[in-house]
Amino acid sequence: MISFHRLSIAAIVILSWWPSTPQLAAQEHPLWGPLHPGEHEVGFRRIWTFDETRAWPRSSALDSLTGHIARPLRIDVWYPATCEGPPMPLRGYVEMKAPDTAYEDLVSQAHVLDHWSYRNLAGDSTSFERLLAVPTGACPNAPPTEGRHPLILYSAGWFNRAPDNTILAEYLASHGYVVATVPQLNPGLWTYDFHSDPVSVENQVRDLEAALGILGAEPGVDRTRVAAMGYSTGGDVALLLADRSPLIDAVIGLDASWSLSSDDDVSTSSLFRAERHAEPILVLRRPFDEDATGGPVLEQLSGAPRVVAEVPGADHGSFSDDPPELVFLGNGTAGDGTTHATIARASLDFLDAALGRAAGFDGRRLADRFRDRGLRVSFKPPTGDGQE
């Protein structure tokens, strides 16, 4: 097991590779827009390991294989820290090197997708290089702060680059959370890419469950306070992770597929059992229709307190890193950055309410707070817990 408090082989490789970046003051996060950091500085580490219970075939010629074919895992972790050096550039999320060649296929696959995604976002080579050079809000391998912090397990949307919603992860970590994610991997290198289908979604669920098993043993993680969060298809992953693991205490769906229509990977999944869910659930989504509470999966989750909030001006991409990065490049509007910040703040408000030490989850109070911020909100209490 790799501990936050022990320097791993991966960390040694990372520190020797990072280019020099000027130290930033606490408020000078170029991609954060109107977001303000919490009381903590933010560290970032990458854990490399394998899930030995599953195979990740590297070739269709299975009888000729030699070497390791267990499923590789790369766990990206943001955490409250004390920075001893400069923040890393965005390039660090994309081009961080693995500790050995056992992970070369994972590294190669993620590198291709991430570069393709950022190049498409930037539009030209100059903008691409400028984006990758911008300082983030995280320091590589910084010593963690003392104490135990709630854990957030995040899943990106279908065909998303691996370092998506890094701004949200940095923001939450600055407010006292440990945030972790894994890149999307297909069932095997030679099979097919990650798709929005039940097989791929289940693989992502199991990847995050493996990450939970590793991080839940860390001294800086409070495994009595764990949330699952996901964007788009990743929202399906987050809800199904709560089905699999009794350690999940809250769920956030960021424009999650299951909260928008019946076209999702939840309602047809063998993992889904609506009656298992009693944890607080937040849905943050784009303006959808006249019924802010609709959706078959939402209705089935009658044993859980559900806050459904529609974000004015949002579209599907608003729930990713794209808006603030486009603003930085000069291709977005101030409103895009404001919408992204609204989503981040609402996520933090919910996590504080759902994972705080105060007794009980007050969904009505949270809904009122969201309304004060201009969100269109519905609170649905558990069945038998009063009226809306």
10 with 80: CB under 8 angstroms? no
Q: Quote the CA–CA distance of 210 and 43 in Å, as a whole number.
A: 22
More confident residue, 369 or 95: 369
Tokens of 361: 């989850």
Residue type at 153 in one-letter notation: L
| Nearest CA among 170, 184, 208 for reference residue 92 | 170
Q: Where are the domains of the chain?
A: 9-380
CB contact set of 162 (below 8 Å; sequence gap of 6+): 74, 76, 93, 110, 113, 114, 156, 181, 183, 184
pLDDT of 348 > 90? The answer is yes
What pTM does this model have? 0.90
pLDDT of 299 > 50? The answer is yes
Residue type at 366 in one-letter notation: L
pLDDT of 15 > 60? The answer is no
- Residue 317 has what pLDDT? 93
Which pLDDT band holds residue 60 (cuts at 50, 70, 90)? Answer: low
pLDDT tens per residue across span 214-257: 999 999 999 999 999 999 999 999 999 999 999 999 999 999 98
Number of H helices, E strands in the chain: 11, 10
pLDDT of 17 > 50? The answer is no
37 with 80: CB under 8 angstroms? no
Burial tier of 172 (Cβ tally within 10 Å: 0-12, 13-18, 19+): buried
Which pLDDT band holds residue 199 (cuts at 50, 70, 90)? Answer: confident
Q: Quote the CA–CA distance of 30 and 226 in Å, as a whole number.
A: 29
pLDDT of 265 > 80? The answer is yes
33 with 137: CB under 8 angstroms? no
Q: Quote the CA–CA distance of 271 and 264 in Å, as a whole number.
A: 13
pLDDT tens per residue across span 96-153: 788 888 888 888 888 888 999 999 999 999 999 999 999 999 999 999 999 999 999 9
- Residue 16 has what pLDDT? 29
Buried b (16+ CB within 10 A) or exposed e, 41-56: bbbbbbbbbbbeebeb
What average pLDDT does range 281-294 have in this prediction? Answer: 75
Judge: domain 9-380, CATH 3.40.50.1820: yes
Angle formed by the axes of helices 104-122 and 322-329, nearest 10°: 50
- Residue 8 has what pLDDT? 34
Tokens of 26: 């606490």
Which pLDDT band holds residue 388 (cuts at 50, 70, 90)? Answer: very low
- Residue 22 has what pLDDT? 37
pLDDT tens per residue across span 155-169: 998 878 888 899 999
189 with 65: CB under 8 angstroms? no
Q: Quote the CA–CA distance of 277 and 272 in Å, as a whole number.
A: 10
> Across the chain, where does the E strand assignment appear?
41-55, 70-81, 139-140, 149-155, 178-181, 221-231, 250-254, 281-285, 306-310, 376-380
- Residue 11 has what pLDDT? 33
